[in-house]
Amino acid sequence: MEVKVLSIQEDILGANKEKAARNRDRLDKHRILTVNVMSSPGAGKTSLILQTINMLKPKTRVAVIEGDVASRVDADKVHKLGAPVVQINIPGGCHLDANMTENALNNLSLEEVDLLLIENVGNLICPAEFALGEHKKVMLLSVPEGDDKAYKYPLMFTEADVVLVNKIDLLPYLDFNITALSQAATGLNPGVKIFPVSCKTGEGLEAWFSWLQDEIKQMKDHRSS
């Protein structure tokens, strides 16, 4: 028997876009660089956010929106570092959207924020389809997930401005070809930046911090011009 391939197209609501554009205008007005952080469950989003707050404070005032199906364990970790944080719980939901983001923005003191990190729900599919009003989309792919993920979840790789290949400390124990991953990712998205990092050991994170600081600077320079 040959392999049979069935293709089923589902409609996706586009009504989210207008609200996302309004969020973006609001964030622009306050000159808050806003980054939508996405990945599979357990790929290291929270670790990246905690490392980033620790590295950039106190010069850069970082705020965080935490999106989860349930629990506030990540928000509590961010809160311990002294950063303002809003937890959004979405029972039965699988991604943040622009409405939820607006709701969270209403609960932050925007005049006191330089960088807003939005940790999306752990999911490689739906979050890629819903703009929140962010300036940049960042995805983490962790080494244990395998180097074939760009073929299986192409939209996430197409949408991302930056791909952080996390948990490179595990490379000696796994069959993961970082060149193959990079080729697949840049094939889908020629302009994507790829940073191999370990949020556990800190290896490679300086490239991420440097990219982020450049983006924050551009946002601020725009204000003073």
State yes or no: residue 42 binds its own copies (CB under 8 A): yes
Residue 14 interacts with its own copies (CB under 8 A): yes or no? no
Interacting residue with its own copies among 16, 68, 161, 192 (CB under 8 A): 68
d(CA 68, CA 176): 29
Tokens 């003073």 belong to which residue?
224
The kind and range of the H/E element at 141 are strand 136-142
Pick the stretch among 20-28, 51-59, 125-133, 204-212 that binds its own copies (CB under 8 A). 125-133
142 in contact with its own copies (CB under 8 A): yes
DSSP secondary structure letters along 70-122: S--HHHHHHHHTT--EEEEE-TT--S--HHHHHHHHTTS-GGG-SEEEEE--S
Q: How far apart are CA 66 and CA 85, in angstroms?
A: 7
Contact flag: residue 153 with its own copies (CB under 8 A):
yes
Element (H, E) at 11: none
Question: Minimal distance in Å, beta carbon 225 to its own copies?
Answer: 31
Work out how close the CB of 183 gets to its own copies at its nearest, in angstroms, rounded to a whole number: 15
User: Exactly one of 14, 58, 92, 190 binds its own copies (CB under 8 A); which one?
Assistant: 92
Position 69 contacts its own copies (CB under 8 A): yes
Q: Examine residue 145 and tell whether it contacts its own copies (CB under 8 A).
A: yes
62 in contact with its own copies (CB under 8 A): no
